[in-house]
Amino acid sequence: MCSAMLLFGIGLVTLLCATDARPSLNYLEDHFTVENESEEVRSAAIKRLLEVFGMDDTPAIHGHKQPPQYMLDLYNTVADVDGVTKDPYLLEGNTVRSFFDKLHSEQVEFRFNLSTVSRAEKILTAELHLFKLRPQATLTFNRHHFCQVSVYQLLNSKSNSTQDKKLLSSRLIPVHSTGWEVFTITQAVRSWMLDEGSNLGLHVVVQTLGGSPMDMKLIRFASGRNHHQSKQPMLVLFTDDGRRSSKPLESTDPNDATSNLPRPLLSSPSSRSVRSVDESEEEGASMSCQRLPLYVDFEEIGWSGWIVSPRGYNAYHCKGSCPFPLGQNMMPTNHATVQSIINALKLIKGIDMPCCVPDKLFSINLLYFDDDENVVLKQYNDMVAGSCGCH
């Protein structure tokens, strides 16, 4: 009974809860093939699932790509093995994007294609990551111990003789150091987002403390052209797409986009599938409302090509009955308590027991390749049922 009511309303998690007989998303897929549901419905379902993950289409990935170590480390800091957010306050926004340099220049010049960043995304911080190589051995005996490294934004020149540029970030770096150097370039990226045509790239200038040009054999940064992929120049963008909400049960909002699932997905006309749902309801009636596993396997959905991590996650589902009297462990709302009393006393005909639904929802993190094969870390709210209650 509960599931029939919920079918219209809530989100992905509830949908899975309501139609679930076996705890796997694969069930949805089997369902379509077994019942010979039209390919249309199946693709509508997959499309809808993509929308839950904020995408229009499955990104096409050509060959095996290695994600940047920085993004892997970031993912492991933010998420546990199942992708569930360890600490919701670690990231300021909900998206981190990485871009490799497209210029592959011999000079210390870089350009990043930001076409995959949506207009709605708020740029919080942008960083240029450069890998500083060890100075060449023959040149290590040098009187300089520090150098001044400055990052400039290249601008449309007003005169045609010299290239205009704007200083973004500058600091002293030890000549003999090696490893990643990070420069903040947020203002430049914000201006590129406003006018794509203004993105002429970045230029890095290295000087002695006295301000004269430094021998570029002494101070070298890895380029995308000559050095190992793991040392490629990279732009890291911390953004927020505005999807994060502080409301604990956001998806119960009837206006929420996640409630518009196609009807055929929710109930099948075939007697066979109806029977299987009934059976699971009968067996569910004997147990009280509780949280049970529901594994969403990205490989089974055919998404393992573009999702780096996790391979899947446990969304959990809520199942069981909510009979009178509702204990505090059922976390009943006052409304549910009153409804269970009316139901038990049969005061009014046709009043069901309250429903066993997610009470608390957690976010998960996805590390994936976008359309342009950039690696993105994104947080999605309300994806895992943390606990169940009678509502």
Determine which residue in the list 52, 341, 372, 386 makes contact with ligand NAG, applying CB under 6 A: 372
Question: For ligand NAG, which is the closer residue by CB, 104 or 176?
Answer: 104
Question: For ligand NAG, which is the closer residue by CB, 87 or 195?
Answer: 195
- Please state, in angstroms and as integers, the Cα–Cα distance from residue 325 to each residue in 269, 322, 334, 338, 343, following that order: 35, 8, 12, 10, 11
Per the document, the length of the chain is 391
Could you tell me which residues come within 8 angstroms of residue 327 by beta carbon, excluding any fewer than 6 positions away? none
Question: For ligand NAG, which is the closer residue by CB, 113 or 187?
Answer: 113
Smallest separation, CB 257 to ligand NAG (Å): 26
Question: For ligand NAG, which is the closer residue by CB, 30 or 73?
Answer: 30
Q: How far apart are CA 50 and CA 168, in angstroms?
A: 37
Taking residue 181's Cβ as centre, other Cβ atoms within 10 Å add up to 17
Q: Does 36 sit near ligand NAG (CB under 6 A)? A: yes
Q: Which amino acid is at 50?
A: L
Smallest separation, CB 113 to ligand NAG (Å): 4
Q: In the window 275-304, what residues touch ligand NAG (CB under 6 A)?
A: none
Question: For ligand NAG, which is the closer residue by CB, 34 or 90?
Answer: 34
- Sketch the per residue contact string, 61 through 100, with ligand NAG: x for CB under 6 A, - otherwise: ----------------------------------------
Name the phi and psi angles at 319, rounded to 5: -150, 150
Question: For ligand NAG, which is the closer residue by CB, 158 or 228?
Answer: 158
For residue 130, list its beta bridge partners.
Answer: 181
- Sketch the per residue contact string, 313 through 352, with ligand NAG: x for CB under 6 A, - otherwise: ----------------------------------------
For residue 129, list its beta bridge partners.
Answer: 182, 234
Smallest separation, CB 136 to ligand NAG (Å): 33
CA 90, 95, 98: angle at the middle one, nearest 5? Answer: 105
Smallest separation, CB 198 to ligand NAG (Å): 11
DSSP line for 176-222: T--EEEEEE-HHHHHHHHH-GGG---EEEEEE-TTSPBPPTTTSEE-
- Sketch the per residue contact string, 97 through 116, with ligand NAG: x for CB under 6 A, - otherwise: ----------------x-x-
Q: Compute CA 176 distance to the chain's CA centroid, rounded to the nearest angstrom.
A: 38
Q: In the window 133-172, what residues touch ligand NAG (CB under 6 A)?
A: 160-161
Q: Does 271 sit near ligand NAG (CB under 6 A)? A: no
Smallest separation, CB 160 to ligand NAG (Å): 4
- Is the sign of the CA dihedral 173, 176, 177, 179 positive or negative? positive
Q: How far apart are CA 184 and CA 174, in angstroms?
A: 19
List residues near ligand NAG by CB under 6 A: 36, 113, 115, 160-161, 372
